[in-house]
Amino acid sequence: MIKPYKKHYAGRIIILTTLFSLLYAIVRYNIYGGVPWKDLPLFILNKGISLASLILLTINFSLSPLNNLGIKVSDKWLDARKLIGITGFLFAFIHVFMSFSILNPSYYPVFFIADGTLSVRGGLSLLGGIVSFIFLWVYNISFKPTIKEDKKLIAMITSRKFLIYAMIFTGIHLLFMGYSGWLTPNKWQMSLVPISLISFVIFFIGFLINLIGRK
């Protein structure tokens, strides 16, 4: 049972992360990017949810390794990990379904070639996203009481190697999702950084923390 103050602390982290992610997506793409407001309920909302998911999951994975590296992490942050991780996984789940519902050349032109089939870039990005989600799903079910009884399985799922592989595939997804837009800052609307690049930078920092600090 999560104590009230712990739940409240996690709630604030989740709410602030979600609001920042959604507002940034709206400002960059709808207000300054020229994306029609009709695309707000799905296309733009999906961008915000994906960023919030990545931030929350990175926080969840990185707090213990930070402690291992000698960087003192507040107990309130550590106690908030479970709720943050569950919310991050839920957002990732929503992101997957929203993305596949609008997966077409109109919304993701770089993912397709002239005949309407997936490009190599599109295929690699989707593969990375699907595999990383499967890793996250397996990690999430490890917290179920019936699974916890299998200590060997839990040890494998929560191992350093398992989580590092999960993060690598997340990085592949993000890299092929938007690398071309990262190289043209002159085209960034109002100099606002693309969400895919923000996500990749957050991922990379989290990856390094886990690579070095996770036991």
Q: What is the pLDDT of residues 139-166, one digit of tens each?
A: 887 767 666 666 777 778 778 899 999 9
Domains of the chain plus CATH, in order, are 4-213 (1.20.120)
Q: What is the pLDDT of residues 165-195, one digit of tens each?
A: 999 999 999 999 999 899 899 989 899 999 9
Backbone φ and ψ of 118, nearest 5°: -65, 140
Q: Give dist(CA 149, CA 74) in Å, integer.
A: 30
Determine the number of helices (DSSP H) and then strands (DSSP E) in the chain.
Answer: 9, 0
